[in-house]
Structures are given as structure tokens and as C-alpha cells.
Amino acid sequence: MWKLFQFVVFVSVYFTGIYYEWTPNGYVLGVLAFLAALLATVLLSWALDKSRAVIVQQRNKRGAAGWR
């Protein structure tokens, strides 16, 4: 699933860069698209890990109080 997400981000940034002519150099645009896909993946996985930790912490607090 991550590969599909990275591919969609890469292609979106690359085609947007072509349409708006961010740079005349295709290699630079490819590097920018790669970095955007990498950054999006890191940020999304960090956010999911943090939310999962908060959910588990809340579940543990609720479960410990309920079992007396």
C-alpha cells in the first residue's frame, strides 16, 4: 500500500511540475518528486504511529479502571 501511495505522490508532483514548468531540467524535477514522496511517507507514517500510541494509551487507561 505504501508503494502505491508513494507512486501517486511522485506522479502528482512530477506532472504538476511539468504543467507549471517549475524547472526546465527533468532530472531536478524527478529528484523533487522523489523527495516529496519520501517526505509524505515519513510524515504519514509518523502521524499514524503517534495516533496508534495515543489510542493504545487511552485504551490501557480505560481498561485498567474498568477491571477492579
**Are 30 and 17 a contacting pair, CB within 8 Å?**
no
Tell me the residue ranges of DSSP E strands in 2-53. none
pLDDT at 60: 85
* Residue 42 near residue 9 (C-beta atoms within 8 A): no
pLDDT score recorded for residue 58: 87
pTM of the model: 0.79
Number of domains in the chain: 1
For residue range 16-67, list pLDDT tens digits in order: 999 999 989 999 999 999 999 999 999 999 999 999 999 988 888 876 555 5
Question: What does the angle CA 8 – CA 26 – CA 30 come to, to the nearest 5 degrees?
Answer: 35
Q: Which domain holds residue 29?
A: 2-66
Distances (CA, A) of 32 to 19, 25, 39, 65: 15, 11, 10, 50
